[in-house]
Structure formats: C-alpha cells, structure tokens
Amino acid sequence: MTSPMEWLEVSVTVVPEAAEAVAEVFSRYAPQGVAIDLGAGEEGSAQQVTVKAYLVVDADIAERRQKVEEALWHLHHIWPVIPAPTFTPIVDQDWTAGWKETIPVLHLGRRVVIKPSWREYTAQPDELLLEMDPGLAFGTGLHPTTQLCVEALEDLVQPGMRVLDLGTGTGILALVAAKLGAADVLAVDNDINAVAVARRNARANAAAHQIRVLHGSLAEVGEPYDLVVANILAHVIIDMAASGLDTRVRRGGTLVVSGILEEQAAEVAAALVAQGLPIVERRQHDGWMALVAQKPHGNRS
C-alpha cells in the first residue's frame, strides 16, 4: 500500500486586490498550482480571500519554506496589508478536492461570468460564459482593475473590431473581447507561463480562431488596433507611452489602461496626453483607476 504524500500548506488571507501578488510568489515554490479561496460571502463579493499553496515535504522543505517567508516579507513592504503566512502540515493524496469546492462562479461587469471547469453553470441568454481554472498567471478576475477593464470592454467592443491586449496574463480580457464580438484579438505577454495559460484558455473557450497569443511586449506589435487594453502597472504604461504606444492605436481608436492607483492617475494621464492620447473617461473602484483615451482622427496611425 502506498503511503499518503505529506504536504505543507502555506496560506495568507488578504484583500482581493492583493491576492494575485501573493499567488505569484507562491507559484515560484509550488509548481502544482495555487488555490484562491473566496470564502463564504456572496459570489464575487468577498472582502477577504485566502491564497493557499502546497509544498511537498521532502529534503528541501525547510529551504523552500524559508524562501516563501522571505519573499512574502519583501512583498509586505510593498503591500503592508499582507500578513505573515500560516504553515499547516497535512497528509492528503488529493488536496485539490477540498479547495476546488471553495472556487465559485464569478460575475464581472454586467454580462461576464467566469466558471471553473469542474462547476456546472447555465448561462442566461445575455451572459458571456468563460471557463477558466485557477492558474499561475495574473488575471483571476478578483482584482478591481480587472473588473474595471471588463466593464470598459463591455461598453467599447463592437463586432468586427481588432483588439490588442497588452500584458494579457491569463488572457481574461482577450477572451472577453472575443466573446463580445471582436474579430481579431492579439494577446501579448512577456511571461512565457502566462502565454501558455492564455493559449490554453483560448482553446478551452473555443476562441483560438479569434485570439493570437504572442510572447513579447509592445516592441513586437507592429500595427495599430481599433481598441488597445493594457492592465499592467502605472510605470509600465508610462514607459510604453514614451515608446510608441500611441502608434498601436488607430486613428479614432480607443486605449484603456489600468493597474493604476488613484494617486498615480495624473502622472499616467499626462504621459498619454503628451503622446496625443487625450483622456475621455476615468473609472474608479476601491482606490484603483482605469483611464480611457481616444486617439483623434487626424493623428498619425
């Protein structure tokens, strides 16, 4: 009889907007995957979530535990709301069975519904159903900036559009654009793991014919798009603005940027305006912002 495998569960309970940062840290040391427990609140409305990972107990467990603690200590200085981790020894050959029950169906924006592959859900006639399992790439749908971008896409995507998703992560925004009727979506990320996840999600949602996933960054995009979305970080958006982001937006086209704290919005807006991308709308949620810019018809494409 095979002995049960021993695991060390590491968990941290945080506000939803910090969950992806913690999950990214955990994913470096737990290749089996990271679980995000949304708790017992209403679907999609948890005030706190618990991020868990499972480390195999072997000869290197003490070293990996120390690395996890050090990485979270550094992250705490960026996100002071992140507490010290809790470690719990468990003996369970299939720990996935327990946490799968904690992953609910998420509702984003007015129409978008995200369900794990193991859950049953019957979509309403006006809902857009995406099937996405928790993974290592950013873009779980928990972060306020993801929600802001989904809401913007619901308002802006028109059938037949060409859409560019910079920093695609799991591909969630590219998938939303495709489901809203975009004819051609280019999803770009400089993380090879994110590229693999985004491609898998495109196939799982029967959208591979609409979505091309490219390993790279702005430099690898050589043509303008009707709609460009970049849910990244404020300083990356500012760098992109100085590196020709405006040329990837067609004349009369629209740019949506997020990953921006309220106090960073003015600097990001100034960088976009300086490159001929005036801000036409600001969206805010829980201290985070999305900026919508419109490229004038007279600008170069």
Percent of the chain with pLDDT over 70: 87
Angle, helices 144-156 vs 172-179, to 10°: value is 20
pTM confidence score: 0.77
Helix, strand or coil, per DSSP, at residue 290: strand
pLDDT computed for residue 43 by the predictor: 44
Between 104 and 211, the more confident residue is: 211
pLDDT at 97: 62
Question: Does 149 score more than 60 pLDDT?
Answer: yes
Give residue-wise pLDDT tens across range 190-213.
Answer: 988 889 889 999 999 999 999 999
3-state secondary structure of 281: strand
Higher pLDDT, 286 or 248: 248
pLDDT at 132: 86
Task: Yes or no: say if 170 and 149 are a contact pair by the CB < 8 Å rule.
Answer: no
Q: How much is the pLDDT for 99? A: 62
* CA nearest to 56, candidates 75, 29, 83, 37: 29
Residue ranges of domains in the chain, CATH in brackets: 6-100 (3.30.70.120), 143-294 (3.40.50.150)
Strand-pairing partners, residue 57, are none
Convert the pLDDT of each residue in 164-178 to its tens digit.
Answer: 999 998 899 999 999
pLDDT beyond 90 at 159: yes
* Per-residue tokens: 129: 């159903």
Query: Average pLDDT over the chain, rounded to whole?
Result: 86
pLDDT above 50 for 137: no
**% of the chain beyond a pLDDT of 90:** 50
> Residue 40: pLDDT above 60?
no
Mean pLDDT in residue range 50-67: 87
Q: Could you give the angle at the alpha carbon of 24 between the alpha carbons of 108 and 61, nearest 5°?
A: 140
- Closest by Cα among 94, 86, 126 to 110: 126
CA distances from 10 to 19, 57, 112, 133, 255 (A): 14, 12, 31, 20, 39
Burial of 264 (0-12, 13-18, 19+ CB in 10 A): middle
- 200: which 2 tokens? 């898998």
